[in-house]
Amino acid sequence: MLSIQISSPGKVELVEQEKPTLLSDQVLIRIHYVGFCGSDLNTYLGRNPLAISPVIPGHEIGGTVEAVGKDVPAGLFAEGMSVTVNPYTACGKCSSCRKGRPNACEHNQTLGVQRNGAMSDYIAVPWGKVIPAPGISPRDCAL
């Protein structure tokens, strides 16, 4: 599978990677569109102190369901369904999470910043992060 990787400030490469292995609680998404936002630009410019390097950018995602893990609740997702993804993680234990502010989690791991993002052919994510978007095109999901 092909991925776009920011390997160092000002340097972007097309890299070959293994297609993600689908875990039992995940959804495999075929990526159709990915927005390139300000955090991606700042990572490319070397101005994002939170970004790992190298990193595959991309957290504004529009794709379709390719496969569903065996432990994903039945009926939530169907092959070919248009979806987007909540790109953030939250620990549920830090002060911000306990106050109902998971967006400010001390241990957040954003796709394309602290962990590899979606500028790839496929991405596998926990089912709870996948947002069904029936009637919305993958292009519009990325917006």
- Determine the 3-state secondary structure of 108 from DSSP: coil
Query: In this predicted model, what pLDDT tens digit does every residue of 4-42 receive, in sequence order?
Result: 999 999 999 999 999 999 999 999 999 999 999 999 999
Query: In this predicted model, what pLDDT tens digit does every residue of 47-91 receive, in sequence order?
Result: 999 999 999 999 999 999 999 999 999 999 999 999 999 999 999
Q: How confident is the model at residue 102 (pLDDT cuts 50, 70, 90)?
A: confident
- Please give the structure tokens belonging to residue 83: 């979806």
Superfamily in which the 21-37+58-142 domain is placed by CATH? Medium-chain alcohol dehydrogenases, catalytic domain (3.90.180.10)
- The distance of Cα 10 from the centroid of its chain, to the nearest Å, equals 22
Distance separating alpha carbons of residues 81 and 72, to the nearest angstrom: 15
- Please give the structure tokens belonging to residue 48: 């994002």
pTM for the full model? 0.93
pLDDT at 93 over 90: yes
